[in-house]
Structure 1
Amino acid sequence: MKLRNIVLTMAIIQSINAAHAMGAGDTLVNLGWINMEPNEVSQPLLVTAMGHTNSIVGSGTSLRDANTGALTVSYFFTDHLAVEMVLGIPPTVHLDGTGSIAKIGELGKAKANVPTVESFYYFGTKDSALRPFLGVGVSYAKYTGIELTQHVADGEFLASSKTGTALVGPTIAHIDSNFFPIFTGGLLYQITPKWSARVSASYIPLRLDATLNTQAPVGTVTSEVKSSLNTLMTFFSVGYTF
């Protein structure tokens, strides 16, 4: 009888440990929601016309917060080391004028594609229910579907008492694509042998470098927007282990 109780107790302990096992060879798929919060530092708008470059004093830009759904796939090479790919639904980001160009309001919007690959280190053991983790990786930021507001698309933002409408005309925009590092910290909680919940915060030193080309009566006028976005991303998700 005692032997039977001991065996039963050991089986229960084993099942509890197995309920939290996640380690080498496992694939973890997470689905959740990302909030992107830029902490922007922008430079004054630079305007180049007829070979001369001037800044619009006191001007600046501000990128609004954005939210989107995201899917991540992680593969555990060991009980502690994993590599993860993040694929999200590209959120629509809105850029507003600030300072001396605040009266323009929204300048335009675009879809932000930011696929990411990261390496993670999970603390604790594969049997731990709660596992903190740290990660570092690389993101590629590409903006598509750029739409300018009417005042910007018509070049009216370049009208002034000094030049009148000499710099005004149809305007198109281009936003540079670039690679950026990403740094992440978070917690994973194993609910069942297959299901888990995870929360994380990531920092990406994103930049926004946009060029506006205006076909004006004096020729092509180039306006440059340069901003350091210093983006904080928070991610809440539910995961399933294969």
Structure 2
Amino acid sequence: MKKSILALASVAALASGSAFAQKAGDWQVGAGWLHFAPQDSSKPLTFTSPVAAVVPGSGASVGSSDTFGMNLTYFIDSRWAVEGVLGVPPKFKLEGEGTLGPIGELGSARQWSPTLLAKYYFNDGEAKFRPYVGLGATYVWYSDVNLTPGMQGALASRLRLPASALSATTAKLDSSFAAVFNAGVAYQFDPHWGMAFSVSYIPLRTTAKLTTTARGIPVATSEASLKLNPIVPYLAVTYKF
């Protein structure tokens, strides 16, 4: 009788442990808080036409932003997984620095950056607590790029355009691929529900290209290179099926 009870207890313990296992073929979805914290720097605003000229002492900084993130993970085996991450495009504000500082906010844009990661999990698949590392890539593009009236006016003044010229400046940001370096921890509460926290680093650059028109006719172009290099924490609730 004692042997039977011990055997049943052992089977129950093994079943209980394996219930938390992440194994080949498992899918996991997650959703939660994404924070983008740019470690930014910029080069001076430079006019490229009609005459090449640098605006001395000009610069810009990019503010941090929060958004809702989602991820989908597929386990190739108990340690290796592939994950896709997507967030509601966060809105970033560009603030003037140096000689552009008095303007304050220069403009804003929304960033799209779907990401694909290869992840390696430490500890056994049955463990509740599992650290992991990841490496992948993202393709970044921008929408809703707008300049503030203050920046519009500063450019018109710099070009000595009269109010009657009805000048306007439009802007776009270059798209690019970038590497993603990722590390995090996951904790499984029960066979389905868990939580994960990770931090990613993305070495990212872009160039803002501006076109100024007067009465609809292009009269000048300018640009500024931005180094964004965001650190991206992600806290998510997960569900495995």
TM value normalised by structure 1: 0.92
Deviation at 1:148, TM superposition (A): 1.7
| Cα distance in 2, alignment partners of residues 181 and 89 from structure 1 | 20
Assess if the C-alpha contact under 8 Å between 1:159 and 1:168 holds in 2: no
Deviation at 1:220, TM superposition (A): 2.0
- Tell me what 1:202 maps to: 200
| Cα distance in 2, alignment partners of residues 187 and 221 from structure 1 | 50
- Tell me what 1:165 maps to: 161
Assess if the C-alpha contact under 8 Å between 2:42 and 2:226 holds in 1: yes
Assess if the C-alpha contact under 8 Å between 1:208 and 1:228 holds in 2: yes
- Tell me what 1:4 maps to: 4
Deviation at 1:168, TM superposition (A): 8.6
**Number of aligned positions between the proteins:** 238
- Tell me what 1:58 maps to: 57
Root mean square deviation of aligned Cα = 1.9
Secondary structure (helix, strand or coil) at the match of 1:230 reads coil
| Cα distance in 2, alignment partners of residues 43 and 59 from structure 1 | 8
| Cα distance in 1, alignment partners of residues 177 and 156 from structure 2 | 31
Deviation at 1:157, TM superposition (A): 3.1
| Cα distance in 1, alignment partners of residues 3 and 88 from structure 2 | 56
Deviation at 1:149, TM superposition (A): 0.9
Assess if the C-alpha contact under 8 Å between 2:211 and 2:218 holds in 1: no
| Cα distance in 1, alignment partners of residues 218 and 86 from structure 2 | 42
Q: Deviations over 1:201-237 (max 9, x none)?
A: 0000111311110014995211102111111000000
Assess if the C-alpha contact under 8 Å between 1:27 and 1:74 holds in 2: yes
Deviation at 1:7, TM superposition (A): 2.1
- Tell me what 2:182 maps to: 184
Q: Unmatched 5+ residue regions in structure 2?
A: none
Assess if the C-alpha contact under 8 Å between 2:176 and 2:206 holds in 1: no
Which letter maps to 1:151? G
Q: Please, which of 172, 175, 182 is the counterpart of residue 174 of structure 1?
A: 172
Assess if the C-alpha contact under 8 Å between 1:200 and 1:235 holds in 2: yes
Secondary structure (helix, strand or coil) at the match of 1:159 reads helix
Q: Unmatched 5+ residue regions in structure 1?
A: none
- Tell me what 1:38 maps to: 38
Stretch of structure 1 that moved more, 201-210 or 215-224: 215-224
TM value normalised by structure 2: 0.93
Change in 2 beyond 3 A, CA 1:147/1:130:
same
- Tell me what 1:73 maps to: 72
- Tell me what 2:47 maps to: 47
